[in-house]
Chains A and B, each alone.
Chain A
């Protein structure tokens, strides 16, 4: 067992070519998925990336606090409403000035799916050459755990609390990854922290694909504090999210969807939901609604990947 684990670890290390530009300790919640992801990105993509981020959980680490910075990357602190437009301005100027660049626009689901979706959509339409990474912790965590468009059905947040009338969020979550893939941008992918080789490969693919235009990575990033989970379980939560098909791993080149990890016998969604408190109150009937939603999404994804294989996007529309 130990040998097997060691083997896995070595494979991940192959992708870590660069030094960690972050301070060894940052004052973040223990087990934070966002921090683990943020440290991983430059170690794969290099320390000459320009990373942009919004006022959010990522802000203190990414943008620094007061006069201190916690990393040595070039960065840009943007507004939630215009993160993708900001990155657009950067890449367009670098293009004009002939400066090689990799701009990583790094935002939570609130920015990407909700308040900043308009300009994310616009950047996709114009096929702007940068990488947009959404770390999805399914809510507004920095402001105190409010619901977002990607908060799943039934989850409690401070704006969808458990009460006598409403029992958590009574709306289904939006599928940001599929929304973006349907723009036929050069590269779209989902990833999470339990499958680091997959994540690293996708980052590198995106770095290459951004030469042809817009790339979008939707990364599942648990928030132990907001979700009421054990900080030690962050990776396990990611693993269960994949194994239950709650968060399937796939990629799409020019919109052509391909699963990168096929789950042959998906576990029931309860093996994922039981790892955190935000679903604790849900009855079996409520869980069934979530289960149905997961199955619907998986079915849709499967259907799309089959359809996309049959349909040919005109060459002129690809780049």
Chain B
């Protein structure tokens, strides 16, 4: 398939609008959602498309997020294409249904606008909601900017509904930083999106719950059947890695935009040091890298686009042989010293060819990951590469945490 995009147009829109327009372009049968800051604009936009007849879907304005997930799961298993959106506490409120959706292998696509979750009611950004649900069995993708939100939602349908995958996909993007950020986004033409998604129509039909067909879903599986289903789920997640890379390639052919699949590598090839990050922070990191490169610092960035399944093979390939790696986490692994992505990457340390790892925690609760912060991270990673003594975990915007570990 090598067709150039036709009659796309560039508009200055928010990240939420990009998600809503992408959902519209995917032509879902059923959309169910409930408002929550900072996701609200997504469902508002979809309601507006629905009201004006631009979007021909069944719109269910449910009484809570739990119902949103239950409704789209059922509609999906009945055979429909579905969409929903949530954030933070909303994601937590739908958690039982989030698990059931994954267990049922329902190819649901949702966007989660990242926001802090636990403890304090923080109307602020952070990836803690994503981390809190990471072992739910969903495929997790993370967008860096508004254009990528649009593109990831479209790619998600290809991944979720693929006959070989059939798993729910969550597209994450930073609340506040991206949800309300307006930037130029190239909106593809409907025909181009239809063409991109038409591959799914040529695949075998997935199992669908239909009247009179003597077929059930959600059977109690207590004995061996349960292990079998779980194993199939895990292997499907493994398959989704290569599939996502392939979809990214095909997307590039049609839309002339490529991100590199599971990971986006920015100036890593000749780099001695690499920062690993995800989401909106990557834009800032890239600009600092550009500056540092002019000074001769050989630094690169690995941007995690697919977080579940964890792209460890791709990460090992990208990071092997580097002198030092700084992992930037926008969330916490409570009860664990070091950010969640850092601790997961640490499990593959022996495969990294001697590369040293260090954890940076920043950007929690709307704390801005500034260029100054990134410079500090790069300096510390450089120090690590030079064999200097660098603390394993650094709370970049909260120096007190680094000095006073015994605080109460």
Contact = CB atoms under 8 A, between A and B. Distances in A.
Interface of A: 47-50, 59-60, 63-67, 69, 72-79, 81-90, 92-97, 99-102, 118-119, 121-122, 125-126
Contact of A64 (B29, B61, B209, B220): B220
A86 B70 CA distance: 5
B60 A89 contact: yes
A247 to B, nearest CB: 28
A126 B32 CA distance: 12
B216 A86 contact: no
Interface of B: 29-30, 32, 57-58, 60-64, 66-80, 82, 96-97, 100, 209-223, 225
A119 B218 contact: no
Contacts of A83: 70
Given A82-B97, A118-B64, A119-B67, A89 B212 contact: no
Contacts of A48: 211-212
Contact of B216 (A63, A84, A95, A118): A63
Contacts of B217: 75-77
Contacts of B213: 74
Contacts of B30: 89, 92-93, 96
Interface SS of chain A: helix
Contacts of A50: 209, 211
B75 A75 contact: no
Contacts of B77: 76
Given A50-B209, A93-B80, A96-B58, A64 B70 contact: no
A72 B60 contact: no
7 contacts: A74-B213, A74-B214, A78-B218, A79-B97, A85-B32, A86-B70, A88-B60
A92 B216 CA distance: 18
B219 A69 contact: yes
A122 to B, nearest CB: 3
Contacts of A88: 32, 60, 62, 67, 70-71, 74
A90 B63 contact: no
Nearest to B221: A66
B70 A93 contact: no
A49 to B, nearest CB: 7
B96 A79 contact: yes
Given A96-B57, A122-B62, A85 B70 contact: yes
A65 B60 contact: no
Nearest to B100: A79
Given A65-B222, A66-B223, A101-B211, A96 B29 contact: yes
Contacts of B74: 76, 78, 85-90, 93
Nearest to B226: A66
B62 A85 contact: yes
A262 to B, nearest CB: 36
Contacts of B220: 59-60, 63-66, 77
Contacts of A76: 74, 77, 209, 216-218
Contacts of B71: 82, 85-86, 88-89, 92
Contact of B75 (A63, A65, A90): A90
Contacts of A60: 220
